Amino acid sequence: IDLVDASEKYGDGQKMIVANEVIEKGEKIWWCTCGDDDEIM
């Protein structure tokens, strides 16, 4: 899984997680709102 810093495009504290494998229904992108708990939303 590649972790890409997308704070410049999507705002502070947000990162884009791009999965190497197809997850569900052809979707390859997970969105993670990285806060203090660092939870995957």
Helix (H, G, I), strand (E, B) or coil at 10: helix
- pLDDT tens string 25-39: 555 555 555 555 555
Q: For residues 1 and 19, give the distance between their C-alpha atoms in angstroms, rounded to a whole number.
A: 5
Q: Give me the residue spans of the domains in the chain.
A: 2-33
Q: What pTM, to 2 d.p., does this model score?
A: 0.16
Burial of 8 (0-12, 13-18, 19+ CB in 10 A): exposed
pLDDT of 23 reads 55
pLDDT of 7 reads 60
Is residue 21's pLDDT more than 60?
A: no
Task: Determine the average pLDDT of the residues in 8-25.
Answer: 57
Q: For residues 38 and 32, give the distance between their C-alpha atoms in angstroms, rounded to a whole number.
A: 8
